[in-house]
Each structure stands twice: as structure tokens, then as C-alpha cells.
Amino acid sequence: MNPGSEAVAGLRTRDDGHAVLSGPLLAASRRVDGLFAKWSARWNAEEWRFPAVLPASQLDRLDYFRSFPHLVTFPVVLDDAPENLARLVSGPALGDDGAVRLPATAPVRDVLTPAACYHFYVELAGARLDQARHLTTVASCFRREKFYRPLFRQWNFTMREVVCIGTLEEVASFLSSFRELLTGYFTAAELPVAWQEAADPFFGGAANPKFIAQMVDPVKTEMVFSSELAIGSINSHRSFFGETFGITRGDSPAFSGCVAFGLERWLYALLARFGPDPERWPAALWEAA
Amino acid sequence: MKSEPEVRTHLARWVAERSRSVQAEEISGNTPILERRLITSVQVMDLILEIEQLSGRSIDVSRLKPGVFKDIDTIYRNFFGGPSS
């Protein structure tokens, strides 16, 4: 699909690389998320909803700022001293370059959610699980990128995740069963998606020990549409989150894994595959689930 | 250079020292080292250095393939030139 070359019913695009959805495409996005929810129901995944912000102190426990400083987005508010606020009020709000002329800011203590599932481990810190837990959430996520393109690569995008926290075997079984389910779906829906091992985009690339570790021990497998775009991924976290947040399964640190879907990217793939009018997409797309 | 049993014992001890969950005797040739997170991702670089010292050969990190540090059998086969047991 080449956005702009063909009118898409219910899609507007912004110069900053974001998509605005309405009408048929918004309805389609709800149906697509409905697919994810339907799949998550096979594991009776409990749905949670989180705020858009995560405490920076929690992300720091994951070494996030050293691993992904290039992706992070901070919510910033102003120092609320009246004289400081008056500085913004008294002059032009924007400079010649279009950037806001910020006066003093308050200390930044939060991060805009970079990945939906992080919230679960924060909330379940210290939990002792006597059986595997399956959870799901959909979140508005933020990742700074080198370029943006509506639906394809957005700063602010929607991520649905289905998470399993349990023993190594429970998580491995969840991930392989989910992969099998999706493989069947892609075939039945005639979506050209291939599984491809990948690594997270660690800062420093090949010079980062964590990147090298993922290279020799792949923990991420992406669903790549048409050899072009990852529309989701299956991730094994080993016991990283269990150890970091003190979550145990039995007497040992819990293992975890997740299946993540990028909602806008799914829309991109469906538009590219089935055309610009979501109301004319094949029924098999919904029925195959 | 150490014999095969010595290399295997050395690697099992090295992994066990970094793991808080297993003893060296519990680590067999096919115990999954990374999958069970007996060592962390950051410690993979230390493992590479340890293997280099043990084998006397340098490792080209850019040419490492997925799975080469899966377990001690695989490490021995890939970096010490011996048959896996």
C-alpha cells in the first residue's frame, strides 16, 4: 500500500506520521482487536487496562534507559510556580522553529508506555503464583523512531498483548500453541505472513552485550507481512521479569512470555492485501479466527 | 589444553557460580543454559571470554549463530572441536 495513492475509507494522515481513523477503518480496527481478544479468550486471559504512564523508577529496574534510550518518550509538565507559568503566558508559545518555548519543567518521574505488558510485571511485583496466569491488555504505546509513516511506523501506536506468566514449560506451551493458532489463521485468511527471528533494537546494536545475547539465543519471533513489515511478535522473556519484580511460580522465579500485536500495522497489512475499503474485505478474515 | 571432562566440569562450575538456582552437579551436557536463564544476557559476553581462555582460540562475535551456547554439549562441539556426548 502506498498511503495517499488511493483513498482509504476512514483514514486521514497527519504530517507527523500518525493516522486518524474514523468510519469504516475505525470499525475495522475494532474488529481486528476483536480477533486478538477472541484468541486471548482461548486461554481465558484476564483483561486489564492501564494508564498511559509508567513510573520511571519501575522501568529503571529493567535497565530500560540503558537498553533503549533512543526509544523512550517522557511526559513533561511545567514547574507550577506562578512566575514560571507566567513566562509561558507572556511570550509567544512557539519559537520560529515551531517548538514550544518551554519555561522550567517539573522533575520527570514517568515514561509514556513503551510496551503494553510491562504494566503487568509492575502490578504483580512480589506475587506468588500457584498456577499460570494469562492476561491481556491493549495500550497506547510510544516509541521514538528515526522516521514515521501513518499506520506503518508511528510514534504513538496501539499494542494488544496476551501474556503468560508461569513455569518455563507453561510459557513455552502457551507461546507454541499461540504460534500454531496464528499460523493456521494466516493461511486461512490468505495473509502472507512469515515467521522470522528478530532481536530487540538495543542501543548500540551489535556492540551491546544484550543484543549479542539475543543473537545467540533468539527470544523474539516476528510475524512479518509480505517480507515488509512486522505486524506482531512472539516473545520469550525467560525469567527476566520474574526475577526483576520478585514474581514466583512455585518456589522459583516465574517465567513469562507474550504475544504482541501492532493494531495499526495490522490495518496497514489488511489494506495492502485486501484493498482500501474495509467493508469489502473478505468475510473469511473474521470467520477464520 | 584441558581434557574434555575437565572442560565440561569447568564450564558447569562457571555457570553454577553465576546461577543462584543450580549446583554444578545438576548441570548436565544438555541442560539449557540460556533458556533456563542460568546466566543472564549480560553474562553471555563473560561466557564468551571464558570459552576463549579455555580453548585458547578467539571467537568472532559477529559470526555467532543462534543456539551456539544452548548447553555444554553444544558449546563443546562448537568451540572445542570435540564430539558431543
Q: Which of A6, A45, A49 is nearest to A174 (CA)?
A: A45
CB contact under 8 A, B41 and A213: yes
Query: Is B53 inside any structural domain?
Result: yes
Q: Is the pLDDT of residue A173 over 60?
A: yes
**Confidence category of residue A206, pLDDT binned at 50, 70, 90:** confident
Q: How many CB atoms are closer than 10 A to CB A285?
A: 21
Alpha helices (H) in A193-259, listed in sequence order? 209-216, 240-245
Which pLDDT score, from 0 to 100, does residue B70 have? 94
Percent of chain A residues topping a pLDDT of 70: 98
pLDDT of residue B83: 43
Looking at residues A43-55, what average pLDDT do you find? 98
Q: B66 and A218 in contact by Cβ < 8 A? A: yes
Helix (H, G, I), strand (E, B) or coil at A229: strand
Strand ranges (E), chain A = 11-13, 19-21, 46-47, 53-55, 110-112, 128-129, 133-142, 156-166, 193-198, 220-225, 229-236, 248-249, 252-253, 255-262
Which residues are bridge partners to A141 per DSSP? A157
- Whether complex ipTM tops 0.90: no
Q: Give the whole-angstrom CA distance, residue A281 versus residue A189.
A: 11
**Within a domain: B27:** yes
Instruction: Give domain status of residue B31, yes or no.
Output: yes
* pLDDT confidence of residue A1: 53
What whole-number percentage of chain B has pLDDT above 70? 95
CB spacing of A210 vs B68 below 8 angstroms: no
Mean pLDDT computed over every residue of chain B: 90
Q: Per-residue pLDDT for A99 more than 80?
A: yes
Q: What is the CATH number of the domain that holds B72?
A: 1.10.1200.10
∠ Cα A35 A198 A269 (to 5°): 40
Question: What pLDDT band is residue A2 in, cutting at 50, 70 and 90?
Answer: low
CA dihedral A149, A151, A156, A161 (to 10 degrees): -140
Beta strands in A108-218 (DSSP E): 110-112, 128-129, 133-142, 156-166, 193-198
Check CB contact under 8 Å for B44 and A218: no
* B85 in a structural domain: no
The pTM of the full predicted model, rounded to 2 decimals, is 0.91
Say yes or no for a CB contact (<8 Å) between B44 and A252.
Answer: no
pLDDT of residue B52: 95
Q: pLDDT per residue over A54-82, tens digit each?
A: 999 999 999 999 999 999 999 999 999 99
Which carries the bigger pLDDT value, residue B49 or residue A209?
A: B49
* B67 located within any domain: yes
Q: Is residue B47 part of a domain?
A: yes
For residue range B50-66, list pLDDT tens digits in order.
Answer: 999 999 999 998 889 88
Return the number of CB contacts < 8 Å for A and B: 52
Within 10 Å of residue B61's Cβ, how many Cβ atoms? Answer: 15
Q: Is B3 on the interface with A (CB under 8 A)?
A: no
Cβ neighbours of A206 (radius 10 Å): 11
Whether residue B61 lies inside any domain: the answer is: yes
Q: Decide: A263 and A157 in contact? Cβ < 8 Å.
A: yes
Inter-residue contact A190 to A272 (CB < 8 Å): no
B34–A216 C-beta distance less than 8 A = yes
Dihedral-angle region of residue B53 (phi above 0 means left; psi in -120 to 50 means alpha; beta otherwise): alpha
CA distance B63 to chain A (A): 10
- Cell numbers 513503551 correspond to A114
pLDDT at residue A196 in the model: 96
Here the cell at position A149 is 509513516
Q: Write the CA distances from A189 to A38, A138, A261, integer angstroms.
A: 15, 23, 16
Q: Which domain holds residue B28?
A: 4-79
Q: Give the distance from residue B19's alpha carbon to the nearest chain A alpha carbon, in angstroms.
A: 12
Whether B81 and chain A come into contact, CB under 8 Å, resolves to: no
- Residue in chain A nearest B35 by alpha carbon: A238
What is the residue whose three cell numbers read 549446583? B23
For residue A7, count CB atoms less than 10 angstroms from its CB and return exposed for 0-12, middle for 13-18, buried for 19 or more: exposed
For B45, the closest of A168, A209, A252 (CB atoms) is A209
Burial (0-12, 13-18, 19+ Cβ within 10 Å), A148: middle
- A28-37, A64-73, B19-28: least confidently modelled range: B19-28
Among B21, B41, B62, the residue with its CB nearest the CB of A210 is B41
Q: What is the pLDDT of residues A100-136, one digit of tens each?
A: 999 999 999 999 999 999 999 999 999 999 999 999 9
How many CB atoms within 10 Å of residue A28?
24
Kindly tell me the burial class for residue A16, based on how many C-beta atoms sit within 10 Å of its own C-beta (0-12, 13-18, 19 or more): exposed
Q: How far apart are CA A18 and CA A155, in angstroms?
A: 7
Residue A239 has pLDDT above 80, yes or no: yes
The domain total for chain B is 1
Least Cα separation, residue A113 to chain B (angstroms):
23
**Structural domains of chain A in order of their starting residue, each with its CATH number:** 11-73+114-287 (3.30.930.10), 78-111 (no CATH)
Interface test with B, best of A173, A212, A214, A248 (most B CBs within 10 A): A212
Mean pLDDT, to the nearest integer, of B66-74? Answer: 94
Residues 24 through 63 of chain B touching chain A, CB cutoff 8 Å: 34-37, 40-42, 44-45, 61-62
CA atoms within 13 A on the CB side of A50: 27
Could you tell me the pLDDT band of residue B81, with boundaries at 50, 70 and 90?
confident
Contact A254, A240 (CB under 8 A): no
| Position B82 pLDDT exceeds 60 | no
Between these two residues, A128 and A200, which has the higher pLDDT value?
A128
Q: Among A3-12, A224-233, A240-249, B21-30, where is mean pLDDT lowest? A: A3-12
